[in-house]
Amino acid sequence: MVVEITKRFYPPKRILPIIYLLLCLALLTGAGKFAFYIRDLSRLADERFPVQSSGLSPCIYARPLVIHPGLDLLPEDLALELDFLEFQKKDVPDRPGSYSRTGGTFVLYDRKPVFADEPRQPSRVRVKIRNQQVTSLSDLDFGRSMRRFVLGPLKIGDLDPTGEAGRDPVSIEAVPEPLILSILAVEDRRFYSHGGVDFSAVFRSLAANVREGHIVQGASTITQQVAKILFFSGEDAFKRKMSEWLMAWVLEWKFTKDEILEAYLNSVYLGRSKLGPVIGFGAAGRYYFGKNLAELDWGEMALLSGMLKAPSGYDPVRNAERAKARRDQVLAILAEQGLLRSEEAASAKKAKLHVVPNAPAPRDRFPVFSRFIRGIVDDKKSAVGQGTDVFTFMDPVVQVRAQAAATAGLAFLEARRLLEKGSLETGGVVLSLPRGELIAMVGGRDPGRPWFNRAVSARRQVGSLIKPAVFLAALEDSPNYLLMTRLDDSAVRIENKD
Return d(Cα 295, Cα 285) in angstroms, integer.
9
Which one is catalytic: 233, 464, 478, 490?
464
Gyration radius (Cα) of the chain, Å? 33
Q: Are 303 and 186 in contact (CB under 8 A)?
A: no
For the chain, residues with pLDDT lower than 70 are 1-23, 25-38, 40-41, 44-48, 50-57, 112-121, 160-167, 199-219, 233-241, 275, 357-364, 380-387, 498
DSSP state of 228: I
The separation between CA 482 and the C-alpha centre of its own chain, rounded to angstroms, equals 58
Q: Which of 54, 98, 187, 243 is catalytic?
A: 187
**pLDDT at residue number 448:** 73
Contacts of 180 (CB under 8 A, 6+ apart): 261
Q: Catalytic residue at 464?
A: yes
Question: pLDDT for 242-253, tens place per residue?
Answer: 777 777 778 888
Give the pLDDT score at 16. 56
Task: Give catalytic status of residue 244 as yes or no.
Answer: no
Contacts of 316 (CB under 8 A, 6+ apart): 288, 303, 323, 324, 353, 355
How many CB atoms lie under 10 A from the CB of residue 263? 27
Q: What is the pLDDT of residue 54?
A: 46
3-state secondary structure of 236: coil
- pLDDT at residue number 326: 92
